[in-house]
Amino acid sequence: MSLINDALRRADEQHKQAEPPAPPPAARPLQPVVQKSRAWLPVVLGMIVLLLVLALAAWFLSKWWEAQKRKVKRPVPTVVPAEIPKPKEPEPVEPPHTNPPPVVVEPPPPPLPKTNVILRLQGVFIRTGKPSALINGKTVFVGGKIFDAQVLSIQPDQVTVEEDGVTNVLILK
């Protein structure tokens, strides 16, 4: 070990006898950072485009709102039974000396439904065992009732209902 210690001492002595190290080079003084001014044109153009998009969206929304209001105010078409033919007036005939033939009077038309509800067919579901239909938001089956109307039959595109002796066919549109 003494050999190693001797070598270290000699190296330390040589190091002390050598010239002192040169001072480090002078550092450049710090310079203040100059910030670039931001370009204001893209920001302003972006704001203008955003305002235009919002204005167009508001305009389209108002037009849609008005259309929805008009759609609600439209009268719903009602099913009117066919016009009832007037009975024919008998032709004037000279009074015979015998009894005239009896006048034939047609039977009165069936009464109109009592409810003011208009039935609207919205969907038909055909299943193997039990077909069903969606009328005014309610599911009905053959033989079932909706607003005093009885469902007589359900086909893929129409439903037949009867209310107070009046038979109506609701067609899927």
Burial of 114 (C-beta count, 10 Å sphere; 0-12/13-18/19+):
exposed
Segment holding 70, helix H or strand E? helix 40-73
pLDDT of residue 74 exceeding 60: no
Using DSSP, state whether 145 is helix, strand or coil: strand
Side chain identity at 114, as an amino acid letter? K
Name the pLDDT band for 90 (thresholds 50, 70, 90): confident
Only one residue has tokens 């998009």, namely: 53
Over the stretch 42-53, which tens digit does the pLDDT of each residue have? 889 999 999 999
15-27: b (≥16 Cβ within 10 Å) or e: eeeeeeeeeeeee
Name the pLDDT band for 39 (thresholds 50, 70, 90): confident
pTM score: 0.35
User: How many residues would you count in the chain?
Assistant: 173
Q: Which residue has the higher pLDDT, 110 or 35?
A: 35
pLDDT at 25: 76
pLDDT at 48: 96
pLDDT at 34: 79
Over the stretch 91-126, which tens digit does the pLDDT of each residue have? 776 665 667 677 888 887 765 555 567 788 888 888
pLDDT at 75: 57
DSSP codes joined into one string, 24-59: PPPPPPP-PPPPPPPPHHHHHHHHHHHHHHHHHHHH
Name the pLDDT band for 171 (thresholds 50, 70, 90): confident
* Phi, psi of 138, deg, nearest 5: -120, 140
For all residues of the chain together, what is the average pLDDT?
A: 80
For the residues 10-15, what does the mean pLDDT come to?
83
Percent of the chain with pLDDT over 90: 12
pLDDT of residue 69 exceeding 70: yes
